[in-house]
């Protein structure tokens, strides 16, 4: 099986399947098709499937014209019908791995997609989970589902592995194509063939590890590393504020050390589908071993408290203007979880909005990337259509909650009564008389 698959990869005879056509799956499907592998995308959302088949792009990191061309050329198509799994030789699973209401892993999407694949899996197929998840998911959860669904044995009739997706939406340098990839499979033959497949598609280095659990753990380590360092800087930031020191100046100074220090920045909290969620997958799994991930949990306590901390700071600013937060008009700039993208999942800005409303503030927002939002927690709002001097001037406080670049911050500073910049995006504005930074 190994040699036949390696030959098929070399001859570009592999047909690829990508399950889940979201922020991760669609760019991956496009790269595979661009590399000359016919690709079928699978999704449960009819509208995404229709959009792909009509050549319409809906993900920021995908080039519209490339998607359109690949669809026209017959290299890329999409379907909700999982029976087409029997036509593919390589399957990447890129479905969501959120948390449930108790902040525990919601693995239902991974399970459902594995069950759907298992029904139609044919012999000599490679299956790779790319969704971020707890160490053990591939071998403990996916493998038995695929084996019992298909009647095939992993390692002899199909290969199974885990390869974490590292896409960083909005990153102009590192995209799916040139980001190094880690692969861990259930057998060494599987690792060889799956790695060969990625090498045939991507420009980035492909690094093979001994088993799926190592690859699963390294992905959680990457994201937990960020979570913990952001927690550290948020804590230092709070202390600096008490001491009357600028944390931003401290970071700039620390950054001059050419080794042993990497800059992280404070902010209103963590956002997105990865950094705030993934450590919970680890802490949940750790409990199975009677292990408490105390450092990580402490970091999450700090980060999770940032929206409330920002509201407290906003309250102090308003207080200095003899204004109660209850009834104050607050204009928030930005609701997406990071700059220059439209993704607002787990956005800390939206949590800030919720906390502000809880204490009676009258909140509006402007975000050129997110004209409106509706999240899984039932919150929804619509952006102001434009940002004018009048709109800025009528707010008691303007809070910058996302560091978008396409906002006229000079105009904001000139017209605002008070500005609370939680991202230090206005660092270059000269007149700082009405600006307070987190």
Ligand X SMILES: NC(=O)c1ccc[n+]([C@@H]2O[C@H](COP(=O)([O-])OP(=O)(O)OC[C@H]3O[C@@H](n4cnc5c(N)ncnc54)[C@H](O)[C@@H]3O)[C@@H](O)[C@H]2O)c1
Residues labelled catalytic: 274
Q: Specify the DSSP class assigned to residue 154.
A: B
Number of residues this chain uses to bind ligand X (CB under 6 A): 28
**Cα R_g (the chain), whole angstroms:** 24
User: Which listed residue (5, 9, 31, 43) binds ligand X by CB under 6 A?
Assistant: 43
Give the full edge-to-edge strand order of the sheet including 419-421: 362-366, 329-333, 397-400, 419-421, 435-437
The answer to the question of residue 273 lying near ligand X (CB under 6 A) is yes
The answer to the question of residue 170 lying near ligand X (CB under 6 A) is no
| Helices 348-358 and 306-320, axial angle in degrees (round to 10) | 50
The answer to the question of residue 21 lying near ligand X (CB under 6 A) is yes
User: Which listed residue (169, 190, 237, 348) binds ligand X by CB under 6 A?
Assistant: 169
From CA 113, how far away is CA 126, in angstroms rounded?
Answer: 15
Closest CA relative to residue 422, chosen from 397, 399, 398, 395:
399
Task: Please give the structure tokens belonging to residue 192.
Answer: 């060889």
CB of 131 to ligand X, least distance (A): 3
CB of 112 to ligand X, least distance (A): 4
Q: Phi and psi dihedrals of 394, rounded to 5?
A: -80, -10
CB of 158 to ligand X, least distance (A): 18
52 vs 363, which CB is nearer to ligand X? 52
From CA 296, how far away is CA 66, in angstroms rounded?
Answer: 41
96 vs 279, which CB is nearer to ligand X? 96
CB of 130 to ligand X, least distance (A): 6
Instruction: With beta carbons less than 8 A apart as the criterion, state whether 310 and 438 touch.
Output: yes
Give the β-pairing of 380-382 and 372-374.
antiparallel
Residue number of the CB atom closest to ligand X: 22
The alpha carbon of 312 is separated from its chain's Cα centroid by a whole number of angstroms, namely: 28
The answer to the question of residue 42 lying near ligand X (CB under 6 A) is yes
User: Which listed residue (58, 84, 109, 265) binds ligand X by CB under 6 A?
Assistant: 109
48 vs 404, which CB is nearer to ligand X? 48
From CA 281, how far away is CA 59, in angstroms rounded?
Answer: 26
From CA 86, how far away is CA 100, in angstroms rounded?
Answer: 32
For 33, how many CA atoms within 13 A lie in the half-sphere containing its CB?
Answer: 26
User: Which listed residue (147, 165, 216, 367) binds ligand X by CB under 6 A?
Assistant: 165
109 vs 248, which CB is nearer to ligand X? 109
The answer to the question of residue 20 lying near ligand X (CB under 6 A) is yes
Span of 160-168, 201-209, 229-237, 410-418 interacting with ligand X by CB under 6 A: 160-168
Q: Which of residues 44-103 bind ligand X (CB under 6 A)?
A: 44-45, 48, 94-97
149 vs 305, which CB is nearer to ligand X? 149
List contacts with ligand X (CB under 6 A).
19-25, 42-45, 48, 94-97, 109, 112-113, 116, 131-132, 165-167, 169, 273-274
């Amino acid at each position: 099986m190994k040699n036949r698959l390696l030959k098929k990869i070399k001859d570009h005879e592999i047909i690829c399947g990508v399950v889940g056509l979201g922020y991760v799956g669609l760019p991956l499907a496009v790269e595979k098709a661009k590399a000359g592998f016919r690709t079928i995308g699978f999704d449960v959302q009819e509208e995404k499937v229709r959009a792909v088949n009509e050549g319409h792009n809906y993900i920021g990191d995908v080039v519209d014209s490339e998607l359109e061309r690949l669809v026209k050329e017959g290299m890329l198509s999409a379907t909700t019908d999982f029976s087409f799994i029997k036509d593919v030789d390589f399957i990447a699973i890129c479905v969501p791995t959120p948390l449930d209401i108790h902040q525990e892993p919601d693995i239902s999407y991974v399970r459902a997609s594995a069950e759907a694949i298992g029904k139609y899996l044919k012999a000599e197929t490679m299956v790779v989970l790319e969704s971020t998840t707890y160490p053990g998911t591939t071998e403990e959860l996916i493998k038995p589902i695929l084996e019992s669904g298909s009647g095939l044995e992993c390692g002899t009739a199909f290969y199974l592995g885990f390869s974490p997706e590292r896409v960083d939406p909005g990153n102009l340098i590192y995209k799916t194509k040139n980001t190094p990839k880690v692969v861990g499979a259930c057998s060494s033959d599987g690792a060889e063939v799956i790695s060969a497949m990625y090498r045939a598609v991507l420009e980035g280095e492909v690094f093979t590890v001994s088993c799926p659990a190592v690859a699963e753990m390294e992905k959680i380590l990457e994201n937990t590393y960020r979570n913990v360092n952001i927690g550290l800087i948020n804590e230092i930031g709070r202390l600096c504020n008490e001491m009357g020191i600028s944390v931003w100046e401290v970071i700039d100074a620390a950054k001059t050390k050419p080794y042993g220090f990497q800059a992280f920045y404070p902010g209103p909290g963590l956002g997105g589908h990865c950094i705030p969620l993934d450590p919970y997958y680890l802490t949940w799994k750790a409990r199975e071993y009677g292990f408490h991930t105390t450092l990580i949990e402490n970091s999450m306590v700090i980060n999770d408290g940032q929206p409330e901390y920002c509201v407290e700071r906003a309250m102090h600013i308003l207080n200095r203007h003899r204004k109660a937060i209850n009834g104050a008009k607050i204009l928030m700039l930005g609701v997406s979880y990071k700059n220059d993208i439209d993704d607002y999942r787990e956005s800390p800005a939206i949590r800030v909005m919720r906390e502000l409303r809880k204490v009676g503030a009258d909140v509006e927002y402007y975000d050129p990337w997110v004209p409106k939002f509706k999240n899984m927690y039932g919150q929804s709002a619509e952006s102001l259509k434009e940002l004018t001097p009048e709109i800025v001037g009528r707010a008691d406080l303007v809070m910058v909650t996302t560091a978008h670049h396409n906002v006229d911050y000079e105009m904001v500073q000139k017209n605002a009564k008070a500005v609370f910049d939680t991202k230090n995006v206005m660092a270059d504005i000269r007149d700082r008389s009405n600006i307070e930074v987190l």
